[in-house]
Each structure stands twice: as structure tokens, then as C-alpha cells.
């Protein structure tokens, strides 16, 4: 373990967190523990805080320039973190990952075209496909020896049946699955055989745990580089969602031409503070903070497993490979298709509702692990008390 990884990162105290004005802390009353929306309770990396302070002190809150340093910063970060060589000229920014997904899909689809998703999956995928004029076609994840995996045979059938694109989540939300290089390369082959494209949401990529191999889709194979698009952001790993900055990355001339042809307004929507914060996040000065975060999240993902085993043994949980979101199966408790409703009402813990991730989410909940061990422990104890009643 590196020296950076041994540096402790602690969540802020609840009284300080409740002063925040973001969704996590303004949706429910103070007696509710909010473990739902993907915001973390940790302080920002020092380099990000310093850069934002400087911008505010200067009144540097105007329009975003054509390149506020994003291309160089992301190119260096991708090489350093993932061994992924990205061409700076094939990076274009926008407001957030879902906006980038919508605009790319809109550019490559005809109205009514089907787009494959792999539920249980991030709920906005369904809305974004509809916004782009497409129709979601569900090919659920499959269980392979106790791990989640893409149903490549099912995806091949859907593409042979006329689906035109795959909207991939890599790492996968909500399961925390990191898809293997072999699976991604095979997905690219299948898509190319049917003249389809793959759009990969890789917002959770910086949060892959040490020892787990992450492959950006565009780096999975030469074919993936030809037919794929990656949309990603510093927002999830560095807690910058409100600042609005994401990047769309391509690796072939054909796909780069699609992104270049997007309306100028797509790039104008990039927030200047978001761009400045992203450059600071991707700087080597923020690497120690990220390593400390990963260590804290590793502790919490393992703590949740111990807490559930002791206090809610009916729950089924698989250790996620990445992220700070935990997918928990509560069907054996007999609390119906949407147990988060009862948990909120009676235990005063807000979790994400499983059915919003697709039919495969019935009886499930999604926990946010980006909090203190004390908050996570209290949340599980509150839920376990419902069983004892």
C-alpha cells in the first residue's frame, strides 16, 4: 500500500453536513439518514478547494473558454490512472455525463431506434434514451459464478433483431461490477458485426478498488476504438456533481467526426467552475486524496458486509468492485417489491428504490457508502430494528 493510501480521509460530522444545500441534505427532514443520491460526505481534495477559492476571489465565474485545460489534464490522468492513451483533440466537454450520452445518441440514432441497456442499471439511462428519440431494450445482467456479467449472447440477439446501440455502464451502477477486457472486446465485436455503436458511461472509473483491473471501453480492442464513445467526468469520484463538467472521448476519426458535429451549445453548457475543478481533480496533486478515499470506501464496503451478516442475515450483498454504491437484495425479508419505502417511513433511512433500476431491482435497495462508518452502522441498525419488531 502506498503512503497516500495510508492517509486517512474522514467524513465530515453530521451537523456540518446538514448545513449543505445539495439534494442529499435538503430532500428529507433531519431525522432521516440520507444514503440515497450519489453524493459523498467527505471534504473536497485540497487542490480542488484551492482552485475554486481562487476563482471566486477573482470573480472568475464567466463563460467557459474553448479549452480551460480539460484536454491536457484528462489526457495525463487517463494515462496515469488507467494506462489509457487518449488523443487530446478527441476530447470535447459538456455539462454532465447524461447530457453527453443524450447528444451522442441523438446524433447516431434515428427516431424509434432501440438502445440496449443492462438492468439493474442507473435509472436516468431509461429517460436519456427516450430524450434522444430511442427506445430502451432491456438485456439484464446475468449471474456467472456469483458475479454479475453482461449477457453477451442476449445482447447479440438484440442487435441481430435490429437494436442500433448499446448504452454501457462501466463500472456498472448499481452493482459496482467492473466488466472484463475480454467481455468489452467481445461486446465491441458483436456491435461492429451489426453496425451498431457502444456509448460507455465511465463516471465511476476512478473509484475502482486496487487489485481490480479496469479497462476503458475504447482501450478494450481496436474494434472498440472504432465504434465506441466514452462519456465521463470527475464529478462522481471527487464530489463535483453541482459544478457541471463532463468529457466525451473518441478514438477513431469516424466517431470523432460525430462528436465534432454536435451543436456548439453542447460544449457551451460546460460550467467554468466545473472545468476548473475537474482540472484540479485530474492533477497529480489530488492523487493522494483519491487513494485515501478508496481506502475509506474499501473499509465501508467491507463494514456493510459485516453489519448485514450480523444484523440482517436475510440480506444478500456482493462486495462491489468499484464506487461507493452497494446493491442489496432484501427479498427474503418479505418487504415487497419496494422495501426502501418502508425503510424510509419506519426506520428513517433514505435508500435508493430498487424498482427504479428496472424490474430486476424489485426487492432491492441501493446504499450510499460515501459516509462515515458511524452513519453506515446506524443506518443498518435502524433497518434491522424493523425485523425485530
Q: Are residues 134 and 157 in the same domain?
A: yes
Q: Which of 232, 262, 282 is the last residue of a domain?
A: 282
Phi and psi torsions of 230, nearest 5°:
-115, 135
Query: Pairing mode, if any, of strands 114-117 and 135-138?
Result: parallel
The DSSP-derived string for 278-337 is: HHHHTSGGGHHHHHHHHHHHHHHHHHHHHHHHHH-TT-EE---SBSSEEEEE-GGGT--S
- 8-state DSSP, 208: B
User: Residue 2 pLDDT more than 90?
Assistant: no
Provide the residue range defining the domain that includes 368: 3-44+286-388
Give the span between the Cα atoms of 104 and 201, in whole angstroms.
Answer: 12
Residue 250 near residue 218 (C-beta atoms within 8 A): yes
pTM: 0.96
Question: So what's the pLDDT on residue 1?
Answer: 30
Identify whether residues 107 and 233 lie together within a single domain: yes
What confidence score (pLDDT) does residue 358 get? Answer: 97
Sign of CA dihedral 202, 338, 361, 197: negative
pLDDT in tens, 163-207: 999 999 999 999 999 999 999 999 999 999 999 999 999 999 999
| Domain membership flag for residue 142 | yes
Asked, for residue 51, whether it belongs to a domain, the answer is no
Q: Which of 289, 319, 312 minimizes the C-alpha distance to 385?
A: 312
- 129 shares a domain with 28: no
- Identify whether the C-beta of residue 321 lies closer than 8 Å to the C-beta of residue 209: yes
Q: Identify whether 35 is preceded by a cis peptide bond (ω within 30 of 0).
A: no
pLDDT digits (tens, 9 = 90+) for 69-89: 999 999 999 999 999 999 999
Mean pLDDT of the region 253-261: 98
CA 348 to chain centre: 25
Is residue 86 located within the same domain as residue 234?
Answer: yes
Within-domain flag for 95: yes
- 388 band by pLDDT with thresholds 50, 70 and 90: confident
Q: Are 355 and 361 spatial neighbours (Cβ–Cβ below 8 Å)?
A: yes
Q: Which residue has the cell 475480454?
A: 182
Amino acid at each position: 500500500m502506498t503512503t497516500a493510501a495510508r492517509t486517512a480521509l474522514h467524513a465530515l460530522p453530521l451537523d456540518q453536513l446538514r448545513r449543505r444545500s445539495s439534494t442529499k441534505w435538503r430532500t428529507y427532514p433531519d431525522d432521516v439518514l440520507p444514503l440515497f443520491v450519489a453524493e459523498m460526505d467527505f471534504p473536497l481534495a485540497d487542490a480542488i478547494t484551492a482552485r475554486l477559492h481562487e476563482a471566486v476571489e477573482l470573480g472568475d465565474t464567466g463563460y467557459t473558454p474553448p479549452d480551460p485545460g480539460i484536454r491536457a489534464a484528462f489526457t495525463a490522468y487517463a494515462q496515469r490512472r488507467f494506462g489509457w492513451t487518449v488523443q487530446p483533440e478527441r476530447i470535447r466537454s459538456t455539462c454532465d455525463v447524461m447530457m453527453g450520452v443524450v447528444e451522442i445518441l441523438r446524433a447516431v440514432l434515428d427516431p424509434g431506434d432501440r438502445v440496449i441497456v443492462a438492468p439493474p442499471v442507473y435509472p436516468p439511462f431509461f429517460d436519456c434514451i427516450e430524450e434522444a428519440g430511442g427506445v430502451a431494450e432491456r438485456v439484464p445482467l446475468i449471474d456467472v459464478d456469483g458475479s454479475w456479467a453482461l449477457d453477451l449472447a442476449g445482447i447479440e440477439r438484440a442487435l441481430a433483431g435490429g437494436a442500433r446501440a448499446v448504452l454501457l455502464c462501466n463500472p456498472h451502477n448499481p452493482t459496482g461490477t467492473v466488466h472484463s477486457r475480454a467481455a468489452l472486446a467481445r461486446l465491441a465485436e458483436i456491435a461492429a458485426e451489426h453496425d451498431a455503436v457502444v456509448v460507455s458511461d465511465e463516471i465511476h472509473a476512478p473509484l475502482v478498488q486496487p487489485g481490480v483491473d479496469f479497462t476503458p471501453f475504447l482501450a478494450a480492442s481496436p474494434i472498440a476504438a472504432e465504434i465506441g464513445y466514452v462519456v465521463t467526468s470527475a464529478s462522481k469520484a471527487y464530489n463535483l456533481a453541482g459544478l457541471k463538467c463532463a468529457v466525451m472521448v473518441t478514438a477513431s476519426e469516424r466517431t470523432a467526426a460525430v462528436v465534432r458535429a454536435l451543436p456548439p451549445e453542447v460544449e457551451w453548457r460546460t460550467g467554468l467552475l466545473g472545468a476548473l475543478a475537474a482540472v484540479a481533480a485530474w492533477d497529480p496533486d489530488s492523487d493522494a486524496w483519491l487513494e485515501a478515499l478508496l481506502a475509506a470506501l474499501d473499509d465501508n464496503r467491507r463494514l456493510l458486509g459485516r453489519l448485514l451478516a450480523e444484523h440482517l442475515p436475510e440480506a444478500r450483498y456482493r462486495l462491489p468492485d468499484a464506487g461507493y454504491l452497494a446493491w442489496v437484495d432484501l427479498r427474503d425479508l418479505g418487504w415487497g417489491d419496494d422495501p426502501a419505502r418502508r425503510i424510509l417511513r419506519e426506520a428513517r433511512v433514505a435508500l435508493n428504490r430498487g424498482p427504479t433500476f428496472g424490474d430486476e431491482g424489485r426487492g432491492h435497495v441501493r446504499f450510499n457508502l460515501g459516509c462515515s462508518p458511524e452513519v453506515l452502522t446506524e443506518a443498518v441498525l435502524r433497518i434491522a430494528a424493523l425485523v425485530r419488531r
